[in-house]
Amino acid sequence: MIACLERFVHETDAESRPHDDDDDDSLCRGLELQGSIDYGSTGGLAGKDFGGLYQGKAMAIIRPAGSQDISRVVKAASRSSNLTVAARGNGHSINGQAMADAGLVIDMRSMMSSMDDAFIRVVRMNGAVYADVGGGALWEDVLKRCVSGYGLAPRSWTDYLGLTVGGTLSNAGVSGQAFRYGPQTENVSELEVVTGKGEIVVCTAAHNSELFFGVLGGLGQFGIITRARVLLQSAPDRVRWIRGVYAEFDEFARDAESLVSEADGEAFDYVEGFVFVNSDDPINGWPSVPLDPEQWFDPTRIPRSAGPVLYCLEVGLHYRNVDRPSTVDEVVERLLGRLGFCKDLRFQVDLTYVEFLLRVKRAEEEAKLNGIWDAPHPWLNLFVSGRNIADFDHTVFKNILRHGVGGPMLVYPMLRSKWDDRNSIVLPEGEIFYIVALLRFNLPYPKGPRVEELVAQNQEIIQCCTKNGFDFKLYLPHYNSEQEWKKHFGNQWSRFVERKASFDPMAILAPGQKIFSRNR
């Protein structure tokens, strides 16, 4: 479909004219896109995100058919005096990061539907296998295609797969495999990117490397990822998924850290953990731990020494259909035998690999039915240094959050050495750091708490970390001032600014991150 509604008159004319909205309008109407431009419903898809805390009103939504369309849009924006462009993945940001107020929002998902089956292509190179994947593809589609078509799968995931490839690569993409393979940003070898100058550039760690590393974890600031080459490995058939409960944080942390530090070989393939409330609260407490409706959490098994919260280590072991059940049992028992969780508070299920990776989808379906999915989600994600995590437990989990957050409170360790420091992500110092993810799922007010109270609690947690001198960074960061961004990036700020000047000098891209202002 040609979306050329009106020819854009004369480029140089536009450059010399002072800006007004009509100029932007005609500029967009003059784009000859293979895809389409939608001027209606801009407050809908483009103005909302999963967080539900911010609302935007874009000037138009672009549904591109390919990278050329995106390039045209970015170039057109650069000819205007004030237009910005936001790639929108699946809009699962919390704080309006994928919005462009009065700007152009590119619906990356629509690019996938116009490419049909071609959006995931398996390529073999130098003894390794990769999937070439569109930036707007959902990870759940990548999973299904790679497993069912080839018996292959990416190595590193997020817990929830209704996220786009470009969206998670712009942040990091972490789950229980990151301790071994690093985040998703460590598992791509090549990207096709449309820069803020509208250039379509293919980049790798060796060619156009500054752009490659900049874009990974780059919060959408340097380019729009239109294709990623994702490393694959042979997919297992099944996963044994196990949870074990601890009363003491130091024992939980010691076991979790030893599991993530083990050399490859006989080890769990997935390691995560979470904190839950020591009560019968159906959402925050004991009932949140069993993996199956048939299982029951027996509170009489909780050690007397337990405090207001308990800890749960969550591990997974991959295996194949041909593996004998007794062999799988032996390996699991050997690995679990070294751990100090309460042996009577252990839960396990066996799932297919795809079921395991789609485990959060069930929660999504339930939350959609009861209205919680569409309610605001003031989530907070932090990376906290291993040095400070025990104090964090003491001050935050056992105190500020002792009644829970209305959803999972994830906490598990990762290794800094698995994260390439050439990319744009910032982490605490030291080899071991923890992700802390406070995934609030509350009913909308007045059935649930006021959003303002939850946002205030997030602020209290951040202030508590700052006051106590904890070494921490926000994951999926959100700040409103340059000063705060500077502090966030620390000694990497100047590199971030230089990359911006090189690849998006007019600051057109991802305005919703509120890092840079559009240059006029």
Rounded CA-CA distance 163/482 in Å is 28
Provide the angle, in degrees to the nearest 10, between the axes of the packed helices 482-489 and 493-503.
Answer: 110
Comparing CB distances to ligand FAD, the nearer of 160 and 286 is 160
Tell me whether residue 364 is one of the annotated catalytic residues: no
**Residue among 159, 199, 281, 391 flagged as catalytic:** 159
Q: Calculate the alpha carbon distances from 328 to 16, 167, 323, 333, 336 in Å.
A: 71, 36, 7, 9, 12
Cα–Cα distance measured from residue 105 to residue 108, given in angstroms and rounded to the nearest whole number: 9
The residue (of 92 and 240) whose beta carbon lies closer to ligand FAD is 92
Residues 426, 405: Cα–Cα separation, whole Å: 26
Shortest gap between Cβ of 475 and ligand FAD (angstroms)? 7
Determine the residue type at 326. Answer: S
Judge residue 317's burial from the number of C-beta atoms within 10 Å of its C-beta, 0-12 exposed, 13-18 middle, 19 or more buried.
Answer: buried
Q: Reply yes or no on whether 374 is catalytic.
A: no
Q: In the complex, what is the shortest distance from the CB of residue 176 to ligand FAD, in angstroms, rounded to a whole number?
A: 9
Structure tokens at 498: 């230089």
* Active-site choice (23, 92, 186, 314): 92
Q: What six digits make up the tokens of 74?
A: 């970015």
> What minimum distance in Å lies between the beta carbon of 281 and ligand FAD?
21
Q: Which residues, in sequence order, are CB contacts of 356 under 8 Å at separation 6+? A: 239, 241, 316
CA distances from 508 to 20, 96, 189, 480, 495 (A): 17, 16, 26, 17, 18
Burial of residue 228, with CB atoms counted within 10 A of its CB: 0-12 exposed, 13-18 middle, 19 or more buried: buried
Return the number of the residue (159 or 431) whose C-beta is nearest ligand FAD. 159
Q: How far is the CB of 476 from ligand FAD (least distance, A)?
A: 6
Supply the DSSP string of 388-452, one letter for each residue: THHHHIIIIIIIITTT--SS-EEEEEEEGGGS-TTSS----SSSEEEEEEE----PPTTTS--HH
* Nearer of residues 168 and 458 to ligand FAD, judged by Cβ: 168
Give the type of residue at 388: N
- Name the minimum Å distance from CB 434 to ligand FAD: 14
Catalytic residue among 24, 107, 186, 272: 272
Distance CA 462, CA 449 (A): 20
Six token digits for residue 513: 């991150």
Cα dihedral across residues 487, 47, 62, 139: positive or negative: positive
Q: How far is the CB of 415 from ligand FAD (least distance, A)?
A: 16
Length of the chain in terms of residues written: 520
Per DSSP, the three-state class of 235 is: coil
Applying CB under 6 A, which residues contact ligand FAD?
A: 49-50, 86-93, 97-98, 108, 135, 158-160, 163-164, 166-168, 170-175, 219-220, 224-225, 476, 510, 512-513
Gap between the Cα atoms of 189 and 182, Å rounded = 13
Quote the least distance from Cβ 280 to ligand FAD, whole Å. 26
d(CA 390, CA 394): 6
Least distance (Å) from ligand FAD to the CB of residue 156? Answer: 10
Told to judge if 159 belongs to the known catalytic residues of this protein, a careful annotator would answer yes
Q: How far apart are CA 61 and CA 87, in angstroms?
A: 10
CB of 77 to ligand FAD, least distance (A): 14
User: 314 pairs with which residues across the strands?
Assistant: 243, 272
Q: Please say whether the beta carbons of 124 and 83 come within 8 A.
A: no
Structural tokens at position 494: 């100047």
Catalytic residues, which ones? 92, 159, 272
